[in-house]
Structure 1
Amino acid sequence: MAQIVICAICIMFLRKGSEQMNYDKKLVYLDYGASTPMSKEVFKEIEPYFYTLYGNPSSVSSFSEQSKMAIFNARERIAKAINCKRNEIYFTSGGTESDNWAIKGAVLKNRDKGNHIITTAIEHPAVLNTCKYLEELGFKITYVPVDKYGIVNLEYIRNAITENTILVSIMFANNEIGSIQPIREIGKLCREQGVIFHTDAVQAAGHIPIDVEEMNIDMLSMSAHKFYGPKGIGILYIRRGIKIDAFIHGGHQERGRRAGTENTPGIVGIGKAIELCNLNMSKESERTKKLRSKLAEHILEIPGTELNGPDYDKRLPGNLNICFNGIEAEILLMSLDLKGICASAGSACSAGSIRPSHVLSAIGLSPEKCKSSIRFSIGEETSEEDIDYTISTLKEIISSIRTT
């Protein structure tokens, strides 16, 4: 009952605050892990494909050929970014579809070889709920544990593989605590064991280097809106030779594996966005790490705060997850929102209950700590002034909450 009351107060507080908030006056966006703004360069490149170069790429006219070439060029850009062949890139509606297709498509196509899937307890719901669905169909799922930093032990995967294992699906980097998995080693192990290896790279793509050849990756998911591209477009990399069912049946698009008229503006956008991110990755990564270190240093000076997840060298450059002991995350987030600061929490205020983050629970945090944890994620438009404002505002809010 107490949780329901808190949740109701949070909703009322948010509604009241939203009426007063003027984002034109002040906005500090520290929720890049949820979504990023489309870059101006990407917007400029995709704009003509909405109203000038609108031909259907499946048509035979010379006008439509321009759309077809734009898609061809986008595949080239993406293939170069992750070091694969152009015809190994398939376009989807986003990361969730890519994860669904990779997992369902691979296990259903290869079920004559077994019925076992290996994943972790900290995957995105797009993976976890897909595995749950397959479990209802009779597939066996092993959820290998992670340590207190959110990193999986390679030996756990090795010991979990059986003669019935079809697929291992482990995310490249976690969306809540930013932990980066030993992908190269996992891929090598799967290759040696003859098991298909899929990685959800939605949080990693565009932010840390990815080489599918060097890392022994068989399938990889990504989503454009996580790296300054448009929403509604993603890719699934499928290594040549991997047997996988078609996901959407209909026409011949995507070489007969994913039917439907191509989203040409989105495809152009994801190609341009990944190209830009890879060009600027090294410089931007260092800048982002410095801002994160400053934010972390000052927040962790506040009594009762703790860092959740791995050390900084083993997490995404812009990711920071902090536990504010004794303070409900929802209340803290809404207080920040009233000051124009956007962040996020692993717990959700939904249907009259507050659910602890499955990721934070998996790394050993108590339900109370889970419900007191916030993720800050830094991106390209974050300035040092934004960090300074967040630090001072956060200290004021916490002092006010703890003295009332």
Structure 2
Amino acid sequence: MDALDQGGNASSVHADGRAARARLEAARSAVAALVGAVPRAVVFTSGATEAAALALHPEMELNGRPHPCDVLLAGGVEHPAVLRGHRFAAERVEILPVDGAGRLDLSALEAALAAHGRAGRRALVAVMAANNETGTLQPVAEAARLAHGHGAVVFCDAVQAAGRVPLDMAALGVDFLALSAHKLGGPQGAGALVAAGADHRVPALLAGGGQERGRRAGTENGPAIAGFGVAARAAAAELAPEAQRLAGLRDALERAVLESVAGTAVVAGHAARLPNTSMLTFAGVRAETLVIALDLSHVSVSAGSACSSGKVGVSHVLTAMGMAPDLAAGAIRLSLGWSSTREDVDQAVAALRKVVPQVRSRAACAA
């Protein structure tokens, strides 16, 4: 709010501009600290989709030297912003299998890397830190070790994981990492592409002025970026206790629903997951119908990703995991956040107890 009141363009040299620049660089330092990066390696964008579009390019430099990539390898559960390849042509994108919990099949990754290596092709490997629908944590460090063993580059969509589980770029071994402010309590409209080194770069997506060290043209969204920095500092300071609190709420929610609503299952319930995310399936229920019925009971949930929940159809994530279509059709995602309480959990459980039987009954009558 202070940044909105004070204004100023961070590229201007007058006093207001210098103050705006100071706020921008403070935010850059906070975002870098959240993921163990150096501030100069942070490029601010309008969000994670733009960050992915910037990173997914065949031509790039690592440590100031050309390091071109020929193909993009990505698991089938990646976000659509990654699966569409952005600046990779469609024929240069290869989708890899995942297991029943949605984790990248490392043996398939290694085989693909070896095959492309024998053909003289270098890969860019995209592996998300945590899935945005199921919350499943991916084997990022293991995938990065395999990728680097074949001379590949690694891009990580860390949008869901940032501020919820510890993230350190050096420990993960990734070359580029995407973040979004609103996923950790900051404003919508700000994101970042973070590189492992200040001299890592890809061709600019937006050409124009020299903002963001020439990586991303256009006047920076100062207030949103300032909020991003505040949220990053808060998330880093409260990471461990908040993760424990949210995991407790998530587990209580899942136990209560499983005990009181027949025909319910937790997706990837035995896998390592984010503490705030739960995907439940309800036999005999259409997810889009359940979303509407719960909304009328003042409980907001998503049918899959919030980015695509307005579309009718089975989640590509569940399809990649091999889930039966009739079961996948009844899957909804419940997410918890910094403002969530036990009272919210109790309200959601009560609504599901009431709504699911009603929806099933109407579906049976219609059939």
Shared fold (TM-score, shorter chain, > 0.5): yes
Q: 1:54 to 1:369 in 2, by over 3 A?
A: same
Aligned to 1:72: 25
CA distance in structure 2 between the aligned counterparts of 1:349 and 1:217, rounded to whole angstroms: 32
Per-residue deviation, 1:259: 0.8
- The question of whether the paired residues in 2 share the 8 Å contact of 1:343 and 1:377 is answered with yes
Q: What 5-or-longer segments of structure 1 have no aligned partner?
A: 1-46
Q: Structure 1, residues 325-381: CA drift from partner, whole Å, max 9, x if none? A: 00111221111111100001028564xxx3111001111112211211111111111
Q: Does 1:48 align with 2:34?
A: no
**2:42 matches 1:84:** no
| Aligned partner letter, 1:253 | Q
Alignment match, 2:148? 191
Deviation at 1:394, TM superposition (A): 1.1
CA RMSD of aligned residues (A): 1.8
Mapping for residues 1-400 of structure 1, pairs under 5 Å: 47-51=1-5, 53-104=6-57, 107-109=58-60, 113-130=68-85, 134-136=88-90, 139-161=91-113, 162-163=116-117, 164-240=121-197, 241-301=199-259, 302-311=261-270, 314-346=272-304, 348=309, 350=311, 354-400=312-358
2:228 alignment partner AA: I
Post-superposition CA distance 1:105-160 (Å, at most 9, x none): xx1347984521111111111111235x6234xx5222111000001122221111
1:158 alignment partner AA? E
Q: Distance in 1 between matches of 2:253 and 2:8?
A: 48
Amino acid aligned to 1:49: A
SS of 1:334's partner is helix
**Counterpart of 1:180 in structure 2: which amino acid?**
L
- Contact 1:348–1:356 (8 Å) recurs in 2: no
Residue 276 of structure 2 contacts residue 336 of structure 2 at CA under 8 Å; is this kept in 1? yes
Which residue identity is paired with 2:193? Answer: L
- Kindly tell me: are residues 100 and 310 of structure 1, through their superposed partners in 2, closer, same or farther at Cα, counting changes over 3 Å? farther
Q: Residues 64-120 of structure 1: CA distance to partner in whole angstroms, max 9, x if unpaired? A: 11011111111111121111111000000001000111102xx13479845211111
Letter in 2 for 1:195: A
Structure 1 distance, partners of 2:247, 2:56, is 33
Q: Distance in 2 between matches of 1:203 and 1:325?
A: 27
Contact conserved, 2:302 with 2:309, CA < 8 A, in 1? no
Report the identity percentage. 34
Partner in structure 1 of residue 365 of structure 2: none
What TM-score, normalized to structure 2? Answer: 0.90
Aligned-residue offset at 1:222: 0.6
SS of residue in 2 equivalent to 1:269: helix
**In the alignment, is the contact (CA less than 8 A) between 2:122 and 2:151 conserved in 1?**
no
Structure 1 residue 189: Cα displacement:
2.1
Report the CA distance between 1:214 and its aligned residue. Answer: 1.4
Amino acid at match of 1:306: A
Cα distance change, pair 181–262 in 1 and its aligned pair in 2 (3 A) = same
- Mapped contact 1:171–1:199 kept (Cα < 8 A): yes
Gap regions ≥5 residues in structure 2:
363-367
Deviates more, 1:184-193 or 1:254-263: 184-193
The answer to whether the Cα contact below 8 Å between 2:161 and 2:274 also exists between their aligned partners in 1 is yes
8 Å Cα contact 1:349-1:355 kept in structure 2: no
Shift of 1:215: 1.2
Distance 1:349 1:199, change over 3 A: closer
| SS across alignment from 2:170 | coil
- d(CA) in 2 for partners of 1:268 and 1:255? 18
TM-score for the superposition, normalised by structure 1: 0.82
Question: Partner residue of 1:43?
Answer: none
Distance 1:183 1:288 in 2: 23
Hey, what's the Cα distance between the residues in 2 that align with 1:112 and 1:207? Answer: 32
The alignment covers a number of residue pairs equal to: 348
CA distance in 2, matches of 1:180, 1:273: 22
Post-superposition offset of 1:273? 0.4
Tell me how far apart the structure 2 counterparts of residues 195 and 243 of structure 1 sit (CA, whole Å).
15
Q: 1:296: how far off?
A: 0.4
The CA deviation at 1:256 is 0.9
Contact 1:178 1:319 in 2 (8 A): yes
Contact 1:172 1:200 in 2 (8 A): yes
Cα separation, partners in 2 of 1:369 and 1:66, compared to 1, 3 Å: same
Distance 1:316 1:270, change over 3 A: same
Q: What's the secondary structure of 2:192's corresponding residue?
A: strand
SS of the residue 2:89 aligns to: helix
8 Å contact kept, 2:128–2:158:
yes
SS at match of 1:158: helix
